[in-house]
């Protein structure tokens, strides 16, 4: 320790200064300042107090070694720092080192040795050389490459994850992926395609748009704005047909978007294909119906011809009419009354007034200018002409003992009509145009059960309801019975029952004349010829069976009820039932009629007639005909089976 009086350095175990005999204190204030502090060795003491522990010193030295410094370097630097600090203290007090040294050689001797400038420079050079050599030898041995590699790996992983997140999860990243042609979402593809369009890269824009469209379709979504951009790109690339198809898809799936209608109409108005202008007109109509935008309707009216006009208002009429159909613009007019016909192709070109008969007529007409077709003119005309009232008779239905006569007259509402014609029958058939016309004379009713039937017909050929009145006239002579094939046979022949073998055994084999087929018969047909006429057979269950016989010569066969070839017409008619009905205007005369049997005389053009009797049984008809010549005598008797 230092003596506080003379500054002599004494060992710490000494209690009296060896030089001046001053008693040394074991404890003294280390907080002195100025020259006293320097003389008392304060700097040295403070340095001693601040000197680190052994462990701290070892740690400091290890750090110095890692940084390339040697132990000598550390000590020299510490000495230099002490010298510089000591000199600064002297300067602050205005005391030089030499003057302080004069105050006591003991202090100079015991003071920490100092280094002069030359020595410091030499030592510093040695330190630099040692540091360089040590750093060369320890550089590659002190770096922890595993830690460096781990840090680099972690940084790389973080960079990859961050890059993946940026590219996959952000809009900007997805746009980068889309531009690189990599997988991206549809939103990014639509945006990149729009950017490409703005840059003038139409093909690239179409490619990006189509990829976006495919993704949306796969996900079941629709981006209408994107589809409109794609259609615009198609147009820019000269692909108008593709654009038109896409516009049609848009307004079909999203009818409220007017842009698709407008753009498609614009393409159709170019008239690049036949029929485009007509399609444009139809699309304008559809656009108006779907969007309610009246501008489409105005545009359509300016494009298409005006609908045709008629001179007769569609309404209900009680007489036949004629109508005229015209186009005030001078265009051709096509019309039809068929609801299923397609106009104008399925219509008639109007050339003259159209006649409307009774019934309901649904008129449709269009005006045509090239491929442009107007809207349809539609009108319903109901022509329902009045029907006459049911005619009346003067004889009430009843039973009468004597022959009676009856008169007919129109219904009350038609009493003054001059155009009423009354048709009637007393043979049991329903009145039609081939029945007797009532002339105003009384009708003679036959005996037996008689049914008077009558209808009235006006100038419009409208037929009234039928008058039907039944009478019982108990006066002779009563009418004969009607034809019945079960009783009225020719020889032993029963049609569709007698076999050809049995017939040939009885009447000879005959000569095969022809083979043929006839409607209604499942088997084949054959006709055999005989001197008296012919017989026709059909194959029935593997056996040929008679179905028709034609008698041309008398002798072998005769007709039913004693009738024969050469008999007069009146003779034959007199053998069967006859209700006495007069002939119609055509000369035909009804003899009798029921639901299952009838008789009638049919006049022929050659002046002759056919007396025909028919009988219905078991799902087929048996028909017996007598054919008379111009002279009125029977020339042929024909009996046949009609399925």
C-alpha 441, offset from chain centre = 72
Q: With bands split at pLDDT 50, 70 and 90, how would you rate the model's confidence at 29?
A: very low
Q: Which of 50-54, 177-181, 492-496 has the highest mean pLDDT?
A: 492-496
Q: Is the pLDDT of residue 94 over 60?
A: no
Asked if residue 16 is part of any domain, the answer here is: yes
Q: How many domains does the chain have?
A: 5
Q: Are 340 and 315 in contact (CB under 8 A)?
A: no
- Looking at residue 441, its pLDDT comes to 95
Do 374 and 462 lie in one domain? The reply is no
The position carrying tokens 């419009």 is: 460
Q: Which of 106-110, 164-168, 263-267 has the lowest mean pLDDT?
A: 106-110
Asked if residue 158 is part of any domain, the answer here is: no
Asked if residue 467 is part of any domain, the answer here is: yes
Do 530 and 629 lie in one domain? The reply is yes
Asked if residue 200 is part of any domain, the answer here is: no
At 511-548, the pLDDT tens digits run 999 999 999 999 999 999 999 999 999 999 899 999 99
Do 408 and 313 lie in one domain? The reply is no
- Checking 94-102 for CB contacts under 8 A at 24+ apart, the result is 95/35, 95/38, 100/35, 100/38, 100/39
Question: Quick one: angle between helices 117-142 and 54-66, nearest 10?
Answer: 80
- DSSP E strands: which ranges in 241-388? 309-310, 316-317, 321-323, 325-326, 332-336, 348-349, 354-356, 359-369, 372-373, 377-383
The overall average pLDDT reported for the chain is 85
Asked if residue 604 is part of any domain, the answer here is: yes
Do 505 and 635 lie in one domain? The reply is yes
Span 541-570, mean pLDDT?
A: 95
Q: Which of 52-56, 292-296, 342-346, 361-365 has the lowest mean pLDDT?
A: 52-56
Q: Is the pLDDT of residue 562 over 90?
A: yes
Do 513 and 631 lie in one domain? The reply is yes
Do 457 and 340 lie in one domain? The reply is no
How far apart are alpha carbons 225 and 228 in whole angstroms?
5
Share of the chain above pLDDT 90, in %: 60
Q: What are phi and psi of 578, to 5 degrees?
A: -150, 120
Q: Domain ends where: 327, 362, 383?
A: 383
Q: With bands split at pLDDT 50, 70 and 90, how would you rate the model's confidence at 504?
A: very high
Q: Are 368 and 374 in contact (CB under 8 A)?
A: yes
Q: What are phi and psi of 411, to 5 degrees?
A: -70, 170
Report which secondary-structure segment, H or E, holds 225.
Answer: helix 224-236
How far apart are alpha carbons 75 and 127 in whole angstroms?
10
How far apart are alpha carbons 504 and 512 in whole angstroms?
12
Q: Is 462 left (phi over 0), alpha (psi -120 to 50) or beta?
A: beta
CATH number at residue 408: 2.60.40
Q: Which of 83-92, 132-141, 523-532 has the lowest mean pLDDT?
A: 132-141
Do 535 and 608 lie in one domain? The reply is yes
Asked if residue 542 is part of any domain, the answer here is: yes
Strand partners, 363: 379
How far apart are alpha carbons 407 and 393 in whole angstroms?
6
- Looking at residue 9, its pLDDT comes to 67
| Sequence-ordered alpha helix ranges (H) in 111-200 | 117-142, 145-169, 171-179, 186-199
Q: Is the pLDDT of residue 506 over 60?
A: yes
Q: Is the pLDDT of residue 102 over 90?
A: no
Do 412 and 371 lie in one domain? The reply is no
Radius of gyration of the chain (CA): 68
pTM above 0.85, yes or no: no
At 111-123, the pLDDT tens digits run 444 445 566 566 6
Q: Domain ends where: 473, 491, 515?
A: 473
Q: Is the pLDDT of residue 5 over 50?
A: yes
- Checking 524-533 for CB contacts under 8 A at 24+ apart, the result is 528/500, 530/556, 531/556, 532/556, 532/557, 533/557
How far apart are alpha carbons 427 and 440 in whole angstroms?
19
Q: Is the pLDDT of residue 12 over 70?
A: no
Side-chain half-sphere exposure of 92, counting CA atoms within 13 A: 11
Q: Is the pLDDT of residue 61 over 70?
A: no
Q: 522: how many CB neighbours lie within 10 A of its CB?
A: 9
Span 499-512, mean pLDDT?
A: 96
- Looking at residue 58, its pLDDT comes to 61
Q: Is the pLDDT of residue 349 over 80?
A: yes
At 584-595, the pLDDT tens digits run 999 999 999 999
Asked if residue 15 is part of any domain, the answer here is: yes
Positive or negative: CA dihedral 301, 303, 309, 313: negative
Do 518 and 588 lie in one domain? The reply is yes
Angle at 24 between CA 23 and CA 27, to 5 degrees: 140
Q: Is the pLDDT of residue 92 over 70?
A: no
Q: Is the pLDDT of residue 219 over 70?
A: yes
- Looking at residue 73, its pLDDT comes to 52
Do 332 and 463 lie in one domain? The reply is no
Higher pLDDT residue, 5 or 324?
324
Q: What are phi and psi of 562, to 5 degrees?
A: 75, 10
Q: What are phi and psi of 201, to 5 degrees?
A: -90, 80
Q: Is the pLDDT of residue 620 over 90?
A: yes
How far apart are alpha carbons 507 and 531 in whole angstroms?
11
Q: With bands split at pLDDT 50, 70 and 90, how would you rate the model's confidence at 88?
A: low
| Residue 467 domain boundaries | 392-473
Q: Which of 64-78, 165-179, 386-400, 550-564 has the lowest mean pLDDT?
A: 64-78
Higher pLDDT residue, 557 or 79?
557
Do 446 and 324 lie in one domain? The reply is no
Q: 248: how many CB neighbours lie within 10 A of its CB?
A: 15
Higher pLDDT residue, 115 or 179?
179
Do 538 and 406 lie in one domain? The reply is no
Asked if residue 100 is part of any domain, the answer here is: yes
Residue 373: cis peptide before it, omega within 30 degrees of 0: no
At 224-269, the pLDDT tens digits run 999 999 999 999 999 999 999 999 999 999 898 899 999 999 999 9
Query: 3-state DSSP call for residue 365?
Result: strand
Q: Of 204, 172, 200, 203, nearest to 188 (Cα)?
A: 172
Span 190-204, mean pLDDT?
A: 90
Q: Which of 68-77, 149-158, 246-255 has the lowest mean pLDDT?
A: 68-77
């Amino acid at each position: 320790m230092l003596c506080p009086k003379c500054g002599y350095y004494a060992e710490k175990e000494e209690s009296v200064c060896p030089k001046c005999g001053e008693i040394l204190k074991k404890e003294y204030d280390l907080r002195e300042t100025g020259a006293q502090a320097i003389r008392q060795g304060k700097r040295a003491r403070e340095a001693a107090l601040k000197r680190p522990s052994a462990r701290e010193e070892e740690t400091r030295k290890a750090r110095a070694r890692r940084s390339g410094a040697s132990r000598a370097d550390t000590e020299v630097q510490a000495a230099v720092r002490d010298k510089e600090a000591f000199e600064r203290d002297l300067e602050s007090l205005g005391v030089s080192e030499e003057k302080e040294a004069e105050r006591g050689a003991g202090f100079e001797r015991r003071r920490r040795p100092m280094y002069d400038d030359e020595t410091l420079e030499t030592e510093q050079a040695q330190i630099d050389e040692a540091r360089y050599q040590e750093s060369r030898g320890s550089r590659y041995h002190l770096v922890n490459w595993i830690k460096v590699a781990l840090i680099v790996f972690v940084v790389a992983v973080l960079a990859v994850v961050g890059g993946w997140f940026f590219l996959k999860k952000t809009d900007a990243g997805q746009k980068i992926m889309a531009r690189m042609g990599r997988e991206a979402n549809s939103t990014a593809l639509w945006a990149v395609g729009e950017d490409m369009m703005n840059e003038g890269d139409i093909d690239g824009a179409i490619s990006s748009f189509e990829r976006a469209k495919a993704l949306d379709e796969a996900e079941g979504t629709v981006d209408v704005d994107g589809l409109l951009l794609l259609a615009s790109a198609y147009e820019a690339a000269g692909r108008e047909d593709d654009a038109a198809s896409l516009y049609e898809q848009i307004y079909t799936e999203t009818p409220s978007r007017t842009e698709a209608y407008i753009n498609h109409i614009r393409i159709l108005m170019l008239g690049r294909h036949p029929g485009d202008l007509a399609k444009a007109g139809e699309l304008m109509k559809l656009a108006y119906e779907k969007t309610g935008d009246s501008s489409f309707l105005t545009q359509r009216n300016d494009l298409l011809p005006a609908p045709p006009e008629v001179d007769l208002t569609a309404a209900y009429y009680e007489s036949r009419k004629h109508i005229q159909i015209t186009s005030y613009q001078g265009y051709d007019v096509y019309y039809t009354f068929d609801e299923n016909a397609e106009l104008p192709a399925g219509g008639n070109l109007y050339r003259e007034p159209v006649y409307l008969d009774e019934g309901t007529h649904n008129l449709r007409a269009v005006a045509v200018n090239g491929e442009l077709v107007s809207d349809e003119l539609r009108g319903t005309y109901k022509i329902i002409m009045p029907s006459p009232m049911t005619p009346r008779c003067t004889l009430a239905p009843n039973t009468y003992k004597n022959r009676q006569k009856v008169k007919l007259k129109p219904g009350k509402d038609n009493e003054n009509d001059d155009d009423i014609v009354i048709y009637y029958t007393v043979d049991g058939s329903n009145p039609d145009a081939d029945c007797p016309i009532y002339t105003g004379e009384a009708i003679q009713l036959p005996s037996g059960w008689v049914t008077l039937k009558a209808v009235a017909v006006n100038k419009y050929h409208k037929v009234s309801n039928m008058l039907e009145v039944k009478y019982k006239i108990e006066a002779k002579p009563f009418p004969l019975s009607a034809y019945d094939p079960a009783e009225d046979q020719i020889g032993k022949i029963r049609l569709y029952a007698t076999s050809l073998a049995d017939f040939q055994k009885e009447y000879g084999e005959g000569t095969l004349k022809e083979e043929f087929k006839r409607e209604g018969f499942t088997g084949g047909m054959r006709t055999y010829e005989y001197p008296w006429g012919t017989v026709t057979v059909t194959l029935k269950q593997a056996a040929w069976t008679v179905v028709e016989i034609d008698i041309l010569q008398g002798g072998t066969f005769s007709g039913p009820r004693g009738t024969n070839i050469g008999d007069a017409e009146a003779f034959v008619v007199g053998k069967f039932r006859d209700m006495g009905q007069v002939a119609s205007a055509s000369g035909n005369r009804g003899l009798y009629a029921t639901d299952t049997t009838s008789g009638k005389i049919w006049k022929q053009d050659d002046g002759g007639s056919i007396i025909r009797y028919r009988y219905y049984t078991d799902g087929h008809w048996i028909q017996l005909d007598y054919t008379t010549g111009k002279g009125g005598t029977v020339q042929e008797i024909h009996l046949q089976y009609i399925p």
